[in-house]
Structure 1
Protein backbone atom coordinates (compact mmCIF):
# COMPACT_ATOMS: atom_id res chain seq x y z
CA UNK A 1 0.00 0.00 0.00
CA UNK A 2 2.77 2.45 0.89
CA UNK A 3 4.52 1.73 -2.38
CA UNK A 4 1.29 2.20 -4.30
CA UNK A 5 0.58 5.42 -2.42
CA UNK A 6 4.10 6.69 -3.09
CA UNK A 7 3.69 5.85 -6.75
CA UNK A 8 0.43 7.78 -6.92
CA UNK A 9 1.94 10.72 -5.06
CA UNK A 10 4.97 10.67 -7.35
CA UNK A 11 2.78 10.73 -10.43
CA UNK A 12 0.78 13.61 -8.99
CA UNK A 13 3.99 15.50 -8.22
CA UNK A 14 5.36 14.87 -11.72
CA UNK A 15 2.10 16.01 -13.29
CA UNK A 16 2.04 19.11 -11.13
CA UNK A 17 5.64 19.88 -12.04
CA UNK A 18 4.79 19.41 -15.68
CA UNK A 19 1.87 21.81 -15.41
CA UNK A 20 4.08 24.31 -13.59
CA UNK A 21 6.73 24.06 -16.29
CA UNK A 22 4.13 24.51 -19.01
CA UNK A 23 2.78 27.64 -17.33
CA UNK A 24 6.29 28.98 -16.79
CA UNK A 25 7.21 28.31 -20.42
CA UNK A 26 4.06 29.99 -21.71
CA UNK A 27 4.80 33.05 -19.59
CA UNK A 28 8.45 33.26 -20.55
CA UNK A 29 9.26 36.69 -21.91
CA UNK A 30 9.86 36.99 -25.63
CA UNK A 31 13.29 37.88 -26.93
CA UNK A 32 14.01 40.63 -29.43
CA UNK A 33 13.78 38.22 -32.37
CA UNK A 34 10.05 37.70 -31.80
CA UNK A 35 8.04 39.55 -34.49
CA UNK A 36 6.47 42.06 -32.10
CA UNK A 37 9.70 42.88 -30.28
CA UNK A 38 11.66 43.12 -33.53
CA UNK A 39 9.11 45.57 -34.87
CA UNK A 40 9.46 47.66 -31.73
CA UNK A 41 13.25 47.58 -32.07
CA UNK A 42 13.11 48.84 -35.66
CA UNK A 43 10.83 51.68 -34.62
CA UNK A 44 13.11 52.83 -31.80
CA UNK A 45 16.18 52.69 -34.06
CA UNK A 46 14.31 54.62 -36.77
CA UNK A 47 13.53 57.38 -34.29
CA UNK A 48 17.30 57.87 -33.93
CA UNK A 49 18.42 57.16 -37.48
CA UNK A 50 15.58 58.76 -39.44
CA UNK A 51 13.45 60.84 -37.06
CA UNK A 52 10.39 58.64 -37.52
CA UNK A 53 8.69 55.56 -36.09
CA UNK A 54 7.75 54.44 -39.60
CA UNK A 55 11.00 52.59 -40.28
CA UNK A 56 9.71 51.24 -43.60
CA UNK A 57 9.58 54.79 -44.93
CA UNK A 58 13.39 54.94 -44.67
CA UNK A 59 14.37 52.51 -47.44
CA UNK A 60 14.88 55.48 -49.75
CA UNK A 61 16.53 57.75 -47.20
CA UNK A 62 19.96 59.06 -48.19
CA UNK A 63 22.02 62.08 -47.12
CA UNK A 64 25.45 63.10 -45.93
CA UNK A 65 25.00 63.95 -42.26
CA UNK A 66 28.51 65.29 -41.90
CA UNK A 67 29.88 62.51 -39.71
CA UNK A 68 32.83 61.68 -41.95
CA UNK A 69 31.24 58.50 -43.31
CA UNK A 70 29.99 59.76 -46.65
CA UNK A 71 26.39 59.10 -47.57
CA UNK A 72 24.18 57.48 -44.94
CA UNK A 73 21.29 55.57 -46.48
CA UNK A 74 18.48 53.12 -45.97
CA UNK A 75 16.73 51.56 -43.01
CA UNK A 76 19.80 51.10 -40.82
CA UNK A 77 22.13 53.85 -41.96
CA UNK A 78 24.33 51.97 -44.44
CA UNK A 79 27.27 54.25 -45.25
CA UNK A 80 29.39 54.72 -48.35
CA UNK A 81 32.40 55.15 -46.08
CA UNK A 82 31.95 52.08 -43.85
CA UNK A 83 31.84 49.19 -46.34
CA UNK A 84 28.32 47.96 -45.53
CA UNK A 85 26.66 50.01 -48.27
CA UNK A 86 29.20 48.75 -50.79
CA UNK A 87 28.64 45.10 -49.89
CA UNK A 88 24.87 45.64 -49.94
CA UNK A 89 24.99 46.95 -53.52
CA UNK A 90 27.48 44.27 -54.59
CA UNK A 91 25.32 41.45 -53.28
CA UNK A 92 22.14 43.02 -54.61
CA UNK A 93 23.73 43.41 -58.04
CA UNK A 94 24.82 39.77 -57.95
CA UNK A 95 21.17 38.79 -57.55
CA UNK A 96 19.74 41.55 -59.76
CA UNK A 97 22.21 42.51 -62.52
CA UNK A 98 21.50 45.74 -64.31
CA UNK A 99 19.80 47.44 -61.37
CA UNK A 100 19.93 51.22 -61.08
CA UNK A 101 22.80 51.23 -58.59
CA UNK A 102 25.12 48.80 -60.38
CA UNK A 103 26.80 51.48 -62.47
CA UNK A 104 28.01 53.17 -59.27
CA UNK A 105 29.92 50.13 -58.01
CA UNK A 106 33.34 51.32 -59.29
CA UNK A 107 32.86 54.67 -57.52
CA UNK A 108 31.57 52.99 -54.34
CA UNK A 109 34.71 50.86 -54.22
CA UNK A 110 36.89 53.95 -54.63
CA UNK A 111 35.21 55.97 -51.86
CA UNK A 112 34.88 53.04 -49.41
CA UNK A 113 36.54 54.04 -46.14
CA UNK A 114 36.32 57.77 -46.90
CA UNK A 115 33.74 60.55 -46.82
CA UNK A 116 34.20 61.32 -50.53
CA UNK A 117 31.33 61.61 -53.01
CA UNK A 118 33.63 61.36 -56.01
CA UNK A 119 31.95 59.49 -58.81
CA UNK A 120 28.64 59.40 -56.94
CA UNK A 121 27.37 62.92 -57.49
CA UNK A 122 25.08 64.09 -58.84
CA UNK A 123 23.06 60.94 -59.62
CA UNK A 124 23.64 58.43 -56.84
CA UNK A 125 21.08 59.80 -54.40
CA UNK A 126 18.32 59.79 -57.02
CA UNK A 127 19.31 56.28 -58.09
CA UNK A 128 19.12 55.05 -54.50
CA UNK A 129 15.67 56.58 -53.98
CA UNK A 130 14.43 55.05 -57.23
CA UNK A 131 15.81 51.60 -56.45
CA UNK A 132 14.27 51.71 -52.96
CA UNK A 133 10.84 51.61 -54.58
CA UNK A 134 11.56 48.05 -55.71
CA UNK A 135 10.54 45.30 -53.27
CA UNK A 136 13.69 43.36 -54.20
CA UNK A 137 15.94 46.15 -52.94
CA UNK A 138 13.90 46.63 -49.78
CA UNK A 139 14.24 42.90 -49.11
CA UNK A 140 18.00 43.16 -49.70
CA UNK A 141 18.22 45.94 -47.11
CA UNK A 142 16.28 43.81 -44.62
CA UNK A 143 18.57 40.85 -45.20
CA UNK A 144 21.76 42.92 -44.83
CA UNK A 145 20.45 44.53 -41.64
CA UNK A 146 19.77 41.12 -40.12
CA UNK A 147 23.00 39.53 -41.33
CA UNK A 148 25.39 42.24 -40.14
CA UNK A 149 23.59 43.88 -37.24
CA UNK A 150 20.42 42.37 -35.80
CA UNK A 151 21.27 38.67 -35.72
CA UNK A 152 24.86 39.05 -34.39
CA UNK A 153 23.70 41.45 -31.67
CA UNK A 154 20.88 39.18 -30.51
CA UNK A 155 23.12 36.09 -30.54
CA UNK A 156 25.78 37.78 -28.41
CA UNK A 157 23.16 39.15 -26.02
CA UNK A 158 21.64 35.70 -25.61
CA UNK A 159 25.07 34.25 -24.84
CA UNK A 160 25.47 36.98 -22.21
CA UNK A 161 22.12 36.05 -20.66
CA UNK A 162 20.40 39.32 -21.54
CA UNK A 163 16.69 39.97 -21.83
CA UNK A 164 14.94 41.79 -24.67
CA UNK A 165 16.10 45.21 -23.47
CA UNK A 166 19.69 44.05 -23.29
CA UNK A 167 19.39 42.54 -26.74
CA UNK A 168 18.09 45.86 -28.04
CA UNK A 169 20.87 47.79 -26.32
CA UNK A 170 23.40 45.57 -28.09
CA UNK A 171 21.57 45.96 -31.40
CA UNK A 172 21.47 49.75 -31.28
CA UNK A 173 25.13 49.81 -30.27
CA UNK A 174 26.26 47.68 -33.21
CA UNK A 175 24.16 49.80 -35.59
CA UNK A 176 25.79 53.02 -34.39
CA UNK A 177 29.33 51.83 -33.68
CA UNK A 178 29.67 48.95 -36.12
CA UNK A 179 31.07 45.49 -35.46
CA UNK A 180 34.73 45.04 -34.58
CA UNK A 181 36.98 45.04 -31.53
CA UNK A 182 38.26 48.62 -31.52
CA UNK A 183 37.60 50.73 -28.42
CA UNK A 184 34.70 52.57 -30.07
CA UNK A 185 33.30 49.51 -31.89
CA UNK A 186 30.69 47.17 -30.47
CA UNK A 187 33.17 44.47 -29.48
CA UNK A 188 35.44 46.93 -27.71
CA UNK A 189 32.54 48.54 -25.85
CA UNK A 190 31.32 45.14 -24.65
CA UNK A 191 34.84 44.12 -23.57
CA UNK A 192 35.17 47.27 -21.48
CA UNK A 193 31.71 46.81 -19.96
CA UNK A 194 32.53 43.22 -18.93
CA UNK A 195 35.54 44.57 -17.02
CA UNK A 196 33.24 46.85 -15.05
CA UNK A 197 30.38 44.42 -14.34
CA UNK A 198 29.67 40.73 -14.86
CA UNK A 199 27.09 39.69 -17.43
CA UNK A 200 24.08 37.69 -16.19
CA UNK A 201 25.61 34.61 -17.83
CA UNK A 202 28.73 35.29 -15.76
CA UNK A 203 26.75 35.52 -12.53
CA UNK A 204 26.15 39.27 -12.55
CA UNK A 205 23.05 41.40 -12.12
CA UNK A 206 21.54 42.33 -15.47
CA UNK A 207 20.59 45.89 -14.59
CA UNK A 208 24.06 46.58 -13.19
CA UNK A 209 25.72 45.15 -16.27
CA UNK A 210 23.52 47.06 -18.70
CA UNK A 211 24.14 50.28 -16.77
CA UNK A 212 27.88 49.70 -17.13
CA UNK A 213 27.48 48.95 -20.84
CA UNK A 214 25.55 52.18 -21.40
CA UNK A 215 28.20 54.14 -19.50
CA UNK A 216 30.93 52.72 -21.74
CA UNK A 217 28.89 53.27 -24.86
CA UNK A 218 28.17 56.88 -24.00
CA UNK A 219 31.90 57.47 -23.52
CA UNK A 220 32.59 55.86 -26.91
CA UNK A 221 29.99 58.07 -28.58
CA UNK A 222 31.72 61.13 -27.13
CA UNK A 223 35.07 59.93 -28.44
CA UNK A 224 33.68 59.32 -31.92
CA UNK A 225 31.70 62.54 -32.13
CA UNK A 226 32.56 65.07 -29.40
CA UNK A 227 29.54 67.15 -28.50
CA UNK A 228 27.16 64.84 -30.36
CA UNK A 229 23.71 64.35 -28.83
CA UNK A 230 23.62 61.05 -26.90
CA UNK A 231 19.83 60.83 -26.66
CA UNK A 232 19.68 57.23 -27.82
CA UNK A 233 21.45 56.30 -24.58
CA UNK A 234 20.40 59.06 -22.16
CA UNK A 235 16.68 59.54 -22.82
CA UNK A 236 15.76 56.25 -24.49
CA UNK A 237 17.68 53.16 -23.39
CA UNK A 238 18.65 54.54 -19.99
CA UNK A 239 15.02 55.45 -19.39
CA UNK A 240 13.84 51.92 -20.21
CA UNK A 241 16.50 50.52 -17.88
CA UNK A 242 15.68 52.90 -15.03
CA UNK A 243 12.03 51.86 -15.37
CA UNK A 244 13.10 48.23 -14.95
CA UNK A 245 11.58 47.34 -18.32
CA UNK A 246 13.98 44.49 -19.06
CA UNK A 247 11.44 42.77 -21.31
CA UNK A 248 11.01 45.91 -23.44
CA UNK A 249 7.26 45.74 -22.98
CA UNK A 250 5.01 48.36 -24.52
CA UNK A 251 3.81 51.01 -23.98
CA UNK A 252 7.15 52.77 -24.33
CA UNK A 253 7.92 56.48 -24.18
CA UNK A 254 11.24 58.15 -24.90
CA UNK A 255 12.80 61.34 -26.22
CA UNK A 256 15.19 61.42 -29.17
CA UNK A 257 17.02 64.62 -30.06
CA UNK A 258 14.33 66.62 -28.29
CA UNK A 259 11.37 64.87 -29.94
CA UNK A 260 9.04 62.70 -27.88
CA UNK A 261 8.07 59.27 -29.22
CA UNK A 262 5.63 56.66 -28.00
CA UNK A 263 4.85 53.05 -28.95
CA UNK A 264 1.57 51.85 -27.49
Structure 2
Protein backbone atom coordinates (compact mmCIF):
# COMPACT_ATOMS: atom_id res chain seq x y z
CA UNK A 1 0.00 0.00 0.00
CA UNK A 2 0.70 3.40 0.46
CA UNK A 3 2.93 5.83 2.16
CA UNK A 4 4.53 4.28 5.22
CA UNK A 5 4.26 6.27 8.40
CA UNK A 6 5.16 4.74 11.73
CA UNK A 7 2.28 4.21 14.11
CA UNK A 8 1.14 7.35 15.86
CA UNK A 9 -1.08 6.88 18.89
CA UNK A 10 -3.40 9.81 19.43
CA UNK A 11 -4.50 10.16 23.03
CA UNK A 12 -8.10 11.06 23.62
CA UNK A 13 -9.58 12.59 26.71
CA UNK A 14 -12.61 10.35 27.18
CA UNK A 15 -15.27 11.89 29.37
CA UNK A 16 -17.11 9.86 31.97
CA UNK A 17 -20.52 8.89 30.63
CA UNK A 18 -23.61 8.02 32.59
CA UNK A 19 -25.58 4.87 31.88
CA UNK A 20 -28.36 7.02 30.48
CA UNK A 21 -25.99 8.73 28.08
CA UNK A 22 -24.52 5.44 26.95
CA UNK A 23 -27.98 4.07 26.28
CA UNK A 24 -28.28 6.53 23.41
CA UNK A 25 -25.09 5.31 21.71
CA UNK A 26 -25.13 2.63 19.07
CA UNK A 27 -21.51 1.67 19.86
CA UNK A 28 -20.18 -0.06 22.97
CA UNK A 29 -19.20 1.88 26.04
CA UNK A 30 -15.45 2.46 26.33
CA UNK A 31 -13.95 -0.60 28.00
CA UNK A 32 -16.93 -2.82 27.20
CA UNK A 33 -15.72 -6.23 25.95
CA UNK A 34 -16.44 -6.68 22.27
CA UNK A 35 -15.31 -9.03 19.53
CA UNK A 36 -13.13 -6.86 17.33
CA UNK A 37 -10.67 -7.48 14.53
CA UNK A 38 -8.10 -9.01 16.85
CA UNK A 39 -10.41 -12.01 16.97
CA UNK A 40 -8.96 -14.45 14.37
CA UNK A 41 -12.29 -15.03 12.64
CA UNK A 42 -13.00 -11.29 12.36
CA UNK A 43 -9.47 -10.62 11.15
CA UNK A 44 -9.93 -13.19 8.36
CA UNK A 45 -13.09 -11.38 7.29
CA UNK A 46 -11.18 -8.09 7.21
CA UNK A 47 -8.43 -9.63 5.10
CA UNK A 48 -11.01 -10.94 2.63
CA UNK A 49 -12.77 -7.58 2.42
CA UNK A 50 -9.52 -5.76 1.69
CA UNK A 51 -8.54 -8.38 -0.89
CA UNK A 52 -11.83 -7.89 -2.73
CA UNK A 53 -10.83 -4.25 -3.31
CA UNK A 54 -7.07 -4.66 -3.72
CA UNK A 55 -7.03 -7.90 -5.73
CA UNK A 56 -10.62 -8.54 -6.93
CA UNK A 57 -10.57 -11.81 -4.98
CA UNK A 58 -11.60 -13.04 -1.54
CA UNK A 59 -8.60 -15.37 -1.47
CA UNK A 60 -6.24 -13.01 0.33
CA UNK A 61 -3.72 -15.75 1.08
CA UNK A 62 -3.15 -16.22 -2.66
CA UNK A 63 -1.80 -12.66 -2.92
CA UNK A 64 1.66 -13.11 -1.34
CA UNK A 65 3.31 -13.56 -4.80
CA UNK A 66 1.30 -10.81 -6.51
CA UNK A 67 3.34 -7.94 -7.97
CA UNK A 68 2.70 -5.42 -10.77
CA UNK A 69 2.81 -1.72 -11.59
CA UNK A 70 -0.81 -0.56 -11.53
CA UNK A 71 0.05 2.91 -12.82
CA UNK A 72 -0.72 4.84 -9.65
CA UNK A 73 2.65 6.54 -9.43
CA UNK A 74 3.89 4.31 -6.61
CA UNK A 75 6.03 1.90 -8.59
CA UNK A 76 5.39 -1.78 -8.04
CA UNK A 77 2.41 -2.81 -5.93
CA UNK A 78 2.74 -6.24 -4.36
CA UNK A 79 1.68 -8.73 -1.74
CA UNK A 80 -1.26 -9.15 0.57
CA UNK A 81 -2.17 -5.46 0.97
CA UNK A 82 -0.29 -3.84 -1.90
CA UNK A 83 3.12 -2.89 -0.52
CA UNK A 84 4.71 -0.34 -2.87
CA UNK A 85 8.27 0.12 -4.08
CA UNK A 86 7.78 3.87 -4.16
CA UNK A 87 6.47 4.29 -0.62
CA UNK A 88 8.87 2.41 1.63
CA UNK A 89 6.75 -0.42 2.96
CA UNK A 90 7.96 -2.84 0.27
CA UNK A 91 11.50 -2.04 1.36
CA UNK A 92 10.56 -2.82 4.95
CA UNK A 93 9.07 -6.18 3.95
CA UNK A 94 12.32 -7.14 2.21
CA UNK A 95 14.34 -5.92 5.20
CA UNK A 96 12.26 -8.10 7.52
CA UNK A 97 12.78 -11.05 5.20
CA UNK A 98 16.53 -10.44 5.09
CA UNK A 99 16.70 -10.57 8.89
CA UNK A 100 14.80 -13.85 8.95
CA UNK A 101 16.55 -15.38 5.92
CA UNK A 102 19.95 -13.71 5.33
CA UNK A 103 21.22 -14.05 1.78
CA UNK A 104 17.78 -14.61 0.27
CA UNK A 105 17.38 -13.68 -3.44
CA UNK A 106 15.49 -10.45 -2.67
CA UNK A 107 18.12 -9.05 -0.33
CA UNK A 108 20.37 -7.83 -3.15
CA UNK A 109 17.60 -5.48 -4.32
CA UNK A 110 17.53 -3.52 -1.06
CA UNK A 111 19.85 -0.71 -2.28
CA UNK A 112 17.63 -0.20 -5.35
CA UNK A 113 14.45 -0.27 -3.26
CA UNK A 114 15.83 2.31 -0.84
CA UNK A 115 16.86 4.55 -3.72
CA UNK A 116 13.38 4.34 -5.28
CA UNK A 117 11.37 5.53 -2.27
CA UNK A 118 9.26 8.44 -3.47
CA UNK A 119 9.60 7.37 -7.09
CA UNK A 120 7.47 5.44 -9.58
CA UNK A 121 10.56 4.14 -11.38
CA UNK A 122 11.74 0.53 -11.61
CA UNK A 123 15.44 1.31 -11.81
CA UNK A 124 17.47 -1.64 -10.57
CA UNK A 125 14.40 -3.85 -10.22
CA UNK A 126 12.50 -4.95 -13.36
CA UNK A 127 11.59 -8.50 -14.27
CA UNK A 128 14.38 -10.15 -12.25
CA UNK A 129 12.97 -8.51 -9.12
CA UNK A 130 9.33 -9.34 -9.85
CA UNK A 131 10.27 -12.97 -10.52
CA UNK A 132 12.27 -13.10 -7.29
CA UNK A 133 9.34 -11.62 -5.33
CA UNK A 134 6.90 -14.20 -6.70
CA UNK A 135 9.36 -17.02 -6.02
CA UNK A 136 10.02 -15.81 -2.48
CA UNK A 137 6.32 -16.16 -1.69
CA UNK A 138 6.89 -19.92 -1.55
CA UNK A 139 8.97 -19.33 1.59
CA UNK A 140 7.00 -19.18 4.88
CA UNK A 141 9.54 -16.65 6.18
CA UNK A 142 8.67 -14.24 3.38
CA UNK A 143 4.96 -14.64 3.97
CA UNK A 144 5.60 -14.00 7.67
CA UNK A 145 7.51 -10.82 6.75
CA UNK A 146 4.49 -9.55 4.82
CA UNK A 147 2.18 -10.41 7.72
CA UNK A 148 4.45 -8.64 10.21
CA UNK A 149 4.66 -5.46 8.11
CA UNK A 150 0.89 -5.40 7.62
CA UNK A 151 0.25 -5.80 11.34
CA UNK A 152 2.92 -3.35 12.55
CA UNK A 153 2.24 -0.48 10.16
CA UNK A 154 -1.43 -0.80 9.18
CA UNK A 155 -3.58 -3.32 11.03
CA UNK A 156 -2.27 -2.78 14.56
CA UNK A 157 -2.34 1.05 14.58
CA UNK A 158 -5.76 1.15 12.90
CA UNK A 159 -7.37 -1.30 15.32
CA UNK A 160 -5.86 0.35 18.39
CA UNK A 161 -7.11 3.78 17.31
CA UNK A 162 -10.57 2.40 16.55
CA UNK A 163 -10.72 0.75 19.97
CA UNK A 164 -9.78 4.06 21.61
CA UNK A 165 -12.58 5.70 19.64
CA UNK A 166 -15.07 3.12 20.95
CA UNK A 167 -15.64 1.44 17.58
CA UNK A 168 -16.60 -2.18 17.03
CA UNK A 169 -15.33 -4.57 14.39
CA UNK A 170 -16.84 -2.67 11.44
CA UNK A 171 -15.32 0.62 12.51
CA UNK A 172 -11.99 -1.09 13.10
CA UNK A 173 -12.14 -2.49 9.57
CA UNK A 174 -13.09 0.91 8.11
CA UNK A 175 -10.05 2.46 9.81
CA UNK A 176 -7.82 -0.40 8.65
CA UNK A 177 -8.94 -0.15 5.03
CA UNK A 178 -8.23 3.60 5.10
CA UNK A 179 -4.75 2.91 6.46
CA UNK A 180 -4.13 0.37 3.69
CA UNK A 181 -5.12 2.70 0.86
CA UNK A 182 -4.01 6.09 2.18
CA UNK A 183 -1.46 5.54 4.94
CA UNK A 184 -1.47 7.31 8.27
CA UNK A 185 -0.38 10.78 7.23
CA UNK A 186 -0.94 13.18 4.36
CA UNK A 187 1.32 12.86 1.31
CA UNK A 188 1.75 15.18 -1.65
CA UNK A 189 -1.50 16.99 -0.97
CA UNK A 190 -3.46 13.76 -0.48
CA UNK A 191 -5.27 13.26 2.82
CA UNK A 192 -4.19 10.35 4.99
CA UNK A 193 -5.98 8.56 7.79
CA UNK A 194 -5.27 11.12 10.49
CA UNK A 195 -6.75 13.95 8.42
CA UNK A 196 -9.86 11.87 7.66
CA UNK A 197 -10.33 11.09 11.34
CA UNK A 198 -9.86 14.72 12.34
CA UNK A 199 -12.47 15.83 9.80
CA UNK A 200 -14.87 13.11 10.92
CA UNK A 201 -14.49 14.14 14.57
CA UNK A 202 -15.30 17.71 13.61
CA UNK A 203 -18.59 16.49 12.12
CA UNK A 204 -19.63 13.83 14.64
CA UNK A 205 -18.59 12.54 18.04
CA UNK A 206 -16.94 9.16 18.40
CA UNK A 207 -18.74 6.56 20.53
CA UNK A 208 -15.96 6.98 23.10
CA UNK A 209 -17.13 10.59 23.44
CA UNK A 210 -20.80 9.74 23.63
CA UNK A 211 -21.61 9.83 19.93
CA UNK A 212 -23.67 7.51 17.76
CA UNK A 213 -21.47 4.91 16.09
CA UNK A 214 -23.28 4.86 12.75
CA UNK A 215 -23.31 8.66 12.53
CA UNK A 216 -19.61 8.84 13.26
CA UNK A 217 -18.73 6.10 10.75
CA UNK A 218 -20.71 7.87 8.04
CA UNK A 219 -18.84 11.09 8.85
CA UNK A 220 -15.52 9.24 8.52
CA UNK A 221 -16.59 7.68 5.22
CA UNK A 222 -17.65 11.13 3.97
CA UNK A 223 -14.15 12.42 4.73
CA UNK A 224 -12.58 9.44 3.03
CA UNK A 225 -14.66 9.79 -0.13
CA UNK A 226 -13.74 13.48 -0.32
CA UNK A 227 -10.06 12.47 -0.20
CA UNK A 228 -10.45 9.67 -2.73
CA UNK A 229 -12.03 11.79 -5.45
CA UNK A 230 -9.07 14.17 -5.25
CA UNK A 231 -6.65 11.39 -6.24
CA UNK A 232 -7.11 9.95 -9.77
CA UNK A 233 -5.79 6.51 -8.80
CA UNK A 234 -8.43 6.22 -6.07
CA UNK A 235 -11.34 8.11 -7.61
CA UNK A 236 -13.53 4.99 -7.81
CA UNK A 237 -15.23 5.10 -4.40
CA UNK A 238 -17.12 1.82 -4.66
CA UNK A 239 -15.08 0.14 -1.90
CA UNK A 240 -16.72 2.74 0.34
CA UNK A 241 -20.12 3.44 -1.22
CA UNK A 242 -21.15 -0.10 -2.24
CA UNK A 243 -19.32 -1.94 0.53
CA UNK A 244 -18.51 -0.17 3.80
CA UNK A 245 -21.39 2.28 3.60
CA UNK A 246 -23.72 -0.65 2.97
CA UNK A 247 -22.52 -2.39 6.13
CA UNK A 248 -23.09 0.77 8.16
CA UNK A 249 -26.58 1.20 6.74
CA UNK A 250 -27.40 -2.43 7.52
CA UNK A 251 -26.17 -2.02 11.08
CA UNK A 252 -23.42 -4.65 10.73
CA UNK A 253 -21.38 -2.85 13.36
CA UNK A 254 -19.74 -6.09 14.49
CA UNK A 255 -19.17 -7.33 10.92
CA UNK A 256 -21.87 -9.91 11.43
CA UNK A 257 -22.18 -12.38 8.60
CA UNK A 258 -23.65 -12.81 6.10
CA UNK A 259 -22.01 -9.87 4.34
CA UNK A 260 -22.80 -8.91 0.75
CA UNK A 261 -21.15 -6.05 -1.11
CA UNK A 262 -19.78 -4.81 -4.43
CA UNK A 263 -16.41 -3.36 -5.41
CA UNK A 264 -15.74 -1.95 -8.90
CA UNK A 265 -19.05 -3.51 -9.98
CA UNK A 266 -18.13 -7.05 -8.86
CA UNK A 267 -20.36 -8.73 -6.29
CA UNK A 268 -18.98 -10.59 -3.26
CA UNK A 269 -20.41 -12.41 -0.29
CA UNK A 270 -19.24 -13.99 2.95
CA UNK A 271 -21.86 -16.27 4.40
CA UNK A 272 -20.01 -17.30 7.57
CA UNK A 273 -17.11 -15.85 9.52
What TM-score do the two structures reach when normalised by structure 1?
Answer: 0.87
Tell me how far apart the structure 2 counterparts of residues 194 and 160 of structure 1 sit (CA, whole Å): 10
Which 4+ runs in 1 deviate beyond 6 A?
none
1:69 maps to 2:110: no
**Which protein has the bigger helix share?**
1
Q: Equivalent residue of 1:246, what SS?
A: coil
1:59 maps to 2:71: no
Aligned twin of 1:239: 246
Question: Could you tell me how far 1:211 is from its partner in structure 2?
Answer: 0.3
Equivalent pair of 1:178/1:185 in contact (CA under 8 Å) = yes
Q: 2:199 aligns with which of 166, 179, 192?
A: 192
Question: Could you tell me how far 1:34 is from its partner in structure 2?
Answer: 0.3
1:13-28 paired onto structure 2 within 5 Å:
none
Tell me how far apart the structure 2 counterparts of residues 48 and 227 of structure 1 sit (CA, whole Å): 11
Tell me how far apart the structure 2 counterparts of residues 108 and 133 of structure 1 sit (CA, whole Å): 21
Tell me how far apart the structure 2 counterparts of residues 44 and 30 of structure 1 sit (CA, whole Å): 17
5+ residue gaps, structure 1: 1-26
CA-to-partner distance for each residue in 1:189-248, whole Å, 9 max, x for gaps? Answer: 111111111111111111110000000001111112277211110100000001011111
The 3 A distance-change label for structure 1 pair 152 and 59 is same
Aligned residues: 238
5+ residue gaps, structure 2: 1-31
The 3 A distance-change label for structure 1 pair 159 and 90 is same
Aligned twin of 2:90: 85
1:173-252 paired onto structure 2 within 5 Å:
173-180=178-185, 184-225=191-232, 228-252=235-259
Cα RMSD (Å): 1.4
Deviates more, 1:64-73 or 1:29-38: 29-38
What TM-score do the two structures reach when normalised by structure 2?
Answer: 0.84
Equivalent pair of 1:184/1:224 in contact (CA under 8 Å) = no
Q: 1:259 aligns with which of 262, 266, 272?
A: 266
The 3 A distance-change label for structure 1 pair 196 and 84 is same
Greater relative CO (CA pairs within 8 A, separation 6+): 2
Bigger-Rg structure (1/2): 1
Aligned twin of 1:33: 38
Q: 1:139 aligns with which of 136, 144, 147?
A: 144
